[in-house]
Amino acid sequence: MRVALIGPPQSGKSTLFAAVAEAGGSHIDLSRPDQAHLAVVKVPDERLEYLSELHKPKKTTPAELEFIDVPGLDLADEAARTHARTHWPAMRQSDMLVAVLREFDSPTVPAYRGRVAPAADAEELLAEMLFADLDQVTTRIQKLEASLRKPSADREHQQHELELMKRLAEALEAERPVAEAVHGEGEAKLLRSFAMLSLKPMLAVLNCSEKAMDQPAGERLGSLPCLRLSAKIEEELARLAPDERAEFLADLNLSAPARDRLVRACCERMGLMSFFTTDGDECRAWTVPEGTDAVTAAGQIHSDMARGFIRAETISYEDLRACNGDMKAARAAGKVRLEGKSHEVHDGDVIHFRFNV
């Protein structure tokens, strides 16, 4: 799954990306600010750490997300907006958008539009995204109307899509995101190939100064859920050795880097969860959408597991931990379940798949 970091120039977006990339073990050349950059980031999970300590595998593999740093979106005038729109494809190819918004003052870093106004910056970004989607929907409506003037074996489907597009256009013209006008999984599936910006899950990050880090961010910024962090502090933390990092965090009265919170928040906003396998020489976290059934989860590991699926031997992480990691005791306590293909996997399940091909 891919997360795009977006935001106005001078918001600290690339600084935050550097922190996230360093934490993920990626080495990114940020010398070209006009280019998008990609980093693969490990999802922090203390449950996987516990399982690894318990089983002592040769290899421990966390879940991963891709983060892409989209160049700053300057929307100050028409020429700047035209250039910003060249970055829409990178945003459309992402599964989620994180808007990094400046909340810090700096005498050395001029503020975008000469202001520090995260709510106004968010509103401007959202408005431009709605306009991009409206342009896309309007073009599609014109093509469908032209097609429906001719005989077609696909006429019923095209008529249904046209009605949907007109409903989306009404929402967008009323400055409402596409997500609010989509009804059911069928319509969402139909729209997937269009990759509309306002259909994507989105999160606001308030990039504050070190002094403001202990201030509550509130749960939302306008229509967006949000969190607060200092990108500069996160970048410094990412470059420290683990023992130095722990000391730095203690000095700041923090229990963990905020970037860990950001990665987890992205998983939550995309409706992702993790299950674990501890077979052989590897402990591994697997990321799947909420509501995934057991046979689909097995297919994430290998297609043979899904094809020859028999049962999923399942225990929740909490139950395993309560039994001190002892599977024999867990079975005796009735905590280990044998589940079929249609069983819905839950976040934190530890699963051994039985299959035969």
Residue 237 has pLDDT above 70, yes or no: yes
- Core vs surface per residue 270-279: b (16+ CB within 10 A) or e: bebbbbbbbe
In this prediction, residue 220 carries a pLDDT of 84
- Taking only the tens place, the pLDDT of each residue in 134-148 is 999 999 999 999 999
Residue 127 has pLDDT above 90, yes or no: yes
- Taking only the tens place, the pLDDT of each residue in 39-51 is 999 998 999 999 9
- Taking only the tens place, the pLDDT of each residue in 160-200 is 999 999 999 999 999 999 999 999 889 999 999 999 999 99
| Domain chopping of the chain, boundaries | 291-355
How does residue 25 score in pLDDT terms, banded at 50, 70 and 90? low
- Please say whether the beta carbons of 183 and 160 come within 8 A: no
- Please say whether the beta carbons of 205 and 229 come within 8 A: yes
Six-digit token pair at 63?
């879940």
In this prediction, residue 259 carries a pLDDT of 84
Segments in the chain forming alpha helices (H): 13-23, 46-55, 78-84, 88-92, 118-148, 155-173, 184-191, 231-238, 242-251, 258-269, 294-301, 303-307, 317-322, 327-332
Q: Which residues contact 247 (CB under 8 A, 6 or more apart)?
A: none
- Taking only the tens place, the pLDDT of each residue in 261-287 is 899 999 999 999 999 999 879 999 999
**If you ran DSSP here, which 8-state letter would residue 86 be given?**
G
CATH superfamily entry for domain 291-355? Beta-grasp domain (3.10.20.30)
Across the chain, how many H-helices and E-strands are there?
14, 13
Q: Taking residues 325-352, what's their average pLDDT?
A: 95
Other C-beta atoms closer than 10 Å to the C-beta of 18 total 21
- Please say whether the beta carbons of 233 and 209 come within 8 A: no
How does residue 102 score in pLDDT terms, banded at 50, 70 and 90? very high
Give backbone dihedrals phi and psi of 274, rounded to 5 degrees, phi first. Answer: -120, 135
Query: In angstroms, rounded to a whole number, what is the distance separating the alpha carbons of residues 154 and 148?
Result: 9
Q: Taking residues 194-216, what's their average pLDDT?
A: 87
In this prediction, residue 244 carries a pLDDT of 86
- Please say whether the beta carbons of 84 and 129 come within 8 A: no
Please give the model's pTM, rounded to 2 decimal places.
0.89
Other C-beta atoms closer than 10 Å to the C-beta of 56 total 9
Average pLDDT, the chain: 90
Distances (CA, A) of 209 to 164, 235, 237, 245: 45, 13, 15, 19
Task: Specify the residue for token string 């409506």.
Answer: 141
